[in-house]
Amino acid sequence: MKSVLVMLREYYNQATATEKEIVKYILDNPKDIPEMTIYELAGKTFSSPASIIRMCKKNGFKGFKDLTKALIYELAMREHNKEQETKEVLKSSDSLKNIIDNVTYKNIISLEDTKNIIDIDIIKKCVELLNKCQNICIFGIGSSLIVAKDAQQKFMRLNRYCTVIDDWHLQLLTARNMSPKDLGIIISYSGQTLEMIECAKAMKENGVKIISITRYGVSPVVDLCDYNIFVAANESTFRSGAMSSRISQLNIIDILFTAYASNKYENSLELIAKTHIRKERREND
C-alpha cells in the first residue's frame, strides 16, 4: 500500500504550480480529503478535476478514488499506531502466559501491518540498487545496529561485502568517504536519530543513493533518503528494548536478501552452500 502523504511530500518540489496547490491542500488537510468529492477539492485548490487526476496518476494512483482509498488506510494506520503506543506491553499483574501471548501477538501484528504497507515498486528499485552498486554501507545504532549486522552476515554469504561499523564517528567518516557508486542503507525506527541524519546528509552531499528502513510516516531520515521502506511497529513502555520494531526491520532485511538472491538463483545457491559453516558434532552432544 502506497503512503500518500510521504509520496506527495516527496513529489511537491517537482510538481507544477497547479499541482503544488493540490498537493499542499491534501498535506495540510488529510482528514478532510476522504469526505470530499473531486469537484470539491478542485474548488478548494482553484484547479480542475482533470488536473487532480493527472497529479494522482503521476504518483502511481489510478485516479482520485484510488488515492483517497490509500489515504483512508494510511490515516487508519496512523491512528492505530497512536492507540497502540498508549497501551502497555507489560503490566505488573501479568502472568508468564500473558507475557508470552502479548509479546508474540504484538510481533505478529507488527509483521502483518508491515506487509500491508510495503510498496513493491520501492522494493524492486532497492533490489536493483543492491545489484549494481559497488559497495554496500549499512548504518544504525542501538537495536538498529543489530539489524545492520544481520544484513551484513546475510549479504556476505552471497559474496557482497557490506560495511557495518559500531562506532558512530567511524560511521560518519565512512559516509563522508562514499561515492555515487556506493549504496547506503540507514536503519532507524524513529527516523529521527541525529547520528543517522548526519550520516544521511554526508552521503547526500556525495551523491550516494540511500535506502531507509524506518517507522511508517514522515521523518528527517525519510526526507533525506531516495527510497524509503516502512515498518509498522508499535513500541510502548519497553520501547528501549525495541522489540516489535526489530522484528519488522529484520523481516525487511530478509525480504531484500531473498529478492536479491532470487535474481541470481543458481549462483546464490552455490554461494550459500560454499559459505555454510559446518559444525562437528561431538559424541556426547
Closest CA to 136 of 181, 177, 169: 181
What does the pLDDT average to over 173-197? 95
How confident is the model at residue 237, as a pLDDT? 39
Do 52 and 42 contact (CB within 8 A), yes or no?
yes
Location of C-alpha cell 501477538: 105
How confident is the model at residue 154, as a pLDDT? 92
Residue type at position 281 = R
How confident is the model at residue 233, as a pLDDT? 55
Give the CB-side neighbour count of residue 224, counting CA atoms within 13 A. Answer: 29
Location of C-alpha cell 488529510: 30
How confident is the model at residue 240, as a pLDDT? 39
How confident is the model at residue 219, as a pLDDT? 87
| Residue 97: other Cβ atoms inside 10 A | 8
Residue type at position 73 = Y
Residue 101 confidence (pLDDT) above 90: no
Burial class (CB in 10 A: 0-12, 13-18, 19+), 151: buried
How confident is the model at residue 119, as a pLDDT? 87
Q: Go through 9-29 and write b for each residue having 16 or more CB atoms within 10 A of its CB, e for each that does not.
A: bbbeeebeebbbbbbebbeee
How confident is the model at residue 13, as a pLDDT? 80
Q: What percent of the chain clears pLDDT 70, i.e. is strictly above it?
A: 88
Domains, the chain, ordered by start: 4-80 (1.10.10.10), 117-274 (3.40.50.10490)
Contacts of 285 (CB under 8 A, 6+ apart): none
Residue 87 confidence (pLDDT) above 70: no
Q: Which residue has the higher pLDDT, 14 or 24?
A: 24
User: 276: pLDDT confidence band, cut at 50, 70 and 90?
Assistant: confident
Contacts of 9 (CB under 8 A, 6+ apart): 27, 218, 223
What does the pLDDT average to over 264-275? 78
User: 22: pLDDT confidence band, cut at 50, 70 and 90?
Assistant: very high
Residue 125 confidence (pLDDT) above 90: yes
Q: Which residue has the higher pLDDT, 88 or 69?
A: 69
Tell me how far apart the 2 most distant CA atoms of the chain are, in Å. Answer: 80
H/E stretch holding 213 reads strand 209-215
How confident is the model at residue 238, as a pLDDT? 45
Q: What percent of the chain clears pLDDT 90, i.e. is strictly above it?
A: 54
Quick: pLDDT tens for 130-182.
999 999 999 999 889 999 999 999 998 888 889 999 998 999 999 999 999 99
Q: Which residue has the higher pLDDT, 112 or 138?
A: 138
Closest CA to 6 of 190, 279, 217, 266: 217
How confident is the model at residue 1, as a pLDDT? 55
Report CA torsion sign: 205, 166, 259, 136.
Answer: positive
Query: Whole-number mean pLDDT of the chain?
Result: 86
How confident is the model at residue 178, as a pLDDT? 97
Quick: pLDDT tens for 68-84.
998 998 888 777 666 65
| CA–CA dist 202, 225 (Å, integer) | 11
Q: What is the pTM of this model?
A: 0.71
3-state secondary structure of 137: strand
3-state secondary structure of 37: coil
Quick: pLDDT tens for 199-251.
999 999 999 999 999 987 778 999 999 999 988 755 553 443 467 778 889 99
Do 60 and 121 contact (CB within 8 A), yes or no?
yes
